[in-house]
Structure 1
Amino acid sequence: MSNFFEKIKKNPIIAAVNELDVLTEALNSPCESIFLLTGNIFNLKEIANKVKTKNKEIYIDIDSIDGFSKDTWGLEYIIKNIHPNGIITTKENLVWLSKDLGAFTILKLFILDSISLKKGIQSINTTRPHAVEIFPGIMPKITKMIFSETNIPIITSGLIIKMEDVKESLNAGAIAVSTNNKSLWHMT
């Protein structure tokens, strides 16, 4: 299983890589974990190997990878052949399957309004992922609420612009912050 919790204790900022041209910068940053939000069937193994060579962990956002069907077969292929440290997904069925396959699993939630908040909390309580990534990440009150109602570790993401946003998220109870803001990758 993943060393996710150990890695984020060292550095709670996670490099979110949504373009391959920033992968090298993420690998050279102090970030211990990388959330991969790009890639395809042809380059995914090479990317994962580069990340692991740098002694960093890679968590693949299965919903963002091109060339794989977003179903059980694509997920199983990635887990068994790419060997990421974990899987990120918005799909409940893929959370279940990831866990069944022994993968560290992060449920990604977009909190747009009170309805999506309620449904998100229900989804967390039903699937019981290892962690939850919530968007946008600049909602300390919501971070506290989700954690208090689920007792699942929270990662905040989206609209994390300044170090102040990171600190507010962590002070609200988030265990980590995922950001594609490269300047924040170097601030620990």
Structure 2
Amino acid sequence: MIKLKETLIENPVIAAIRNDNDLEKAILSNANIVFILYGDILSIKDICSKLKENGKLVFVHLDLVEGLRGDQAAIRFIKDSVRTDGIISTKASNIRYANHLNLYAIQRIFAIDSLSLKTGIRSIHETNPTAVEVMPGVANKIISVIEREVKVPIIAGGLITKKKDVMDALSSGAVAVSTTDSTLWNL
């Protein structure tokens, strides 16, 4: 298994795709890492295959794929049948089980207030994800707090729409950003 932190540092802009149009843009982009934020149980294998055929590192947001329950069977299906590189989830049980299967596990947390920040940090310590995606990604103060508290790579996601947002997130301690804005995928 490749070292994810080094890959994120070398490829700090992640294409986050929400539809087939985004899929085609991501394939043609310079982004080497893709977060899949759409699809269903019938289409997810084809979506992943297209990206993998084009040399992309692929993560499926398990909570957003229709027809998949956030359970152990879904994670085994994603690993064995879809052959993704990892998952993204807000659910601690999904992160733990993905770790058990040696899949990369990115824990997505929403830091909207001090309680959610404290809860998120505690959850990160308990689940030991491969990386953490902090939402919203423009919350630079929160990113720097989390970066001091946990020892896993941080990805800033959500509301990243300008090059300045990317630079601010990276300078706050994030190793990468995920964005649905395809104009940033070629930075």
Please confirm whether the aligned pair reaches a TM-score higher than 0.5, indicating the same fold: yes
1:39 paired residue number: 39
Matching residue of 2:14: 14
Residues 27-80 of structure 1, C-alpha deviation per residue, up to 9 Å, x if partnerless? 100000000000111111111111011111110000000111221111211111
* SS of corresponding position for 1:7: helix
Amino acid at match of 1:54: N
Q: Secondary structure at the match of 1:16?
A: strand
Counterpart Cα distance in 2 of 1:56 and 1:178: 14
Q: Which residue pairs with 1:83 in the alignment?
A: 83
Give the C-alpha shift of residue 2 in structure 1: 4.3
Mean CA deviation greater in 31-40 or 16-25: 16-25
The superposition leaves residues 147-182 of structure 1 with CA deviations (integer Å, 9 ceiling, x where unpaired) of 111121100000111100000000111000000011
SS at match of 2:39: coil
Matches within 5 A, 1:132-147: 132-147=132-147
Q: Which residue of 2 aligns with 1:65?
A: 65
TM-score (norm 2): 0.96
Equivalent residues in 2 for 1:113-152 (5 A)?
113-152=113-152
1:173 matches 2:173: yes
Q: Secondary structure at the match of 2:48?
A: helix
Instruction: Report the secondary structure of 2:155's partner residue.
Output: strand
| Structure 2 match to 1:154 | 154
- Contact 1:158 1:179 (C-alpha < 8 Å) held by counterparts: yes
Contact 2:4/2:130, CA 8 A, preserved across alignment = no
Q: Is the 8 A contact 1:36 1:61 kept in 2?
A: yes
What is the TM-score of this pair, normalised by structure 1? 0.96
Identity of aligned residues (%): 37
2 CA distance for matches of 1:4 and 1:53? Answer: 19
Match of 1:96 in 2: 96
Aligned pair 1:52/2:52, yes or no? yes
SS at match of 2:79: helix
- The answer (yes or no) to whether the contact 1:2–1:86 under 8 Å persists in 2 is no
Q: Aligned residue pairs: how many? A: 187
SS at match of 2:67: coil
Give distance in 1, aligned partners of 2:157 and 2:65: 18
Q: Secondary structure of 1:42's partner? A: coil
In the alignment, is the contact (CA less than 8 A) between 2:5 and 2:153 conserved in 1?
no
Q: CA 1:2–1:46 in structure 2 vs 1: closer, same or farther (change >3 Å)?
A: farther
Q: 2:145 & 2:73 partners in 1: Cα distance?
A: 35
Offset of residue 3 of structure 1: 4.9
CA contact (8 A) 1:131 1:152 kept: yes
| Structure 1 alignment gaps of length 5 or more | none
Residue segments in structure 2 that go unaligned for 5+ positions in a row: none
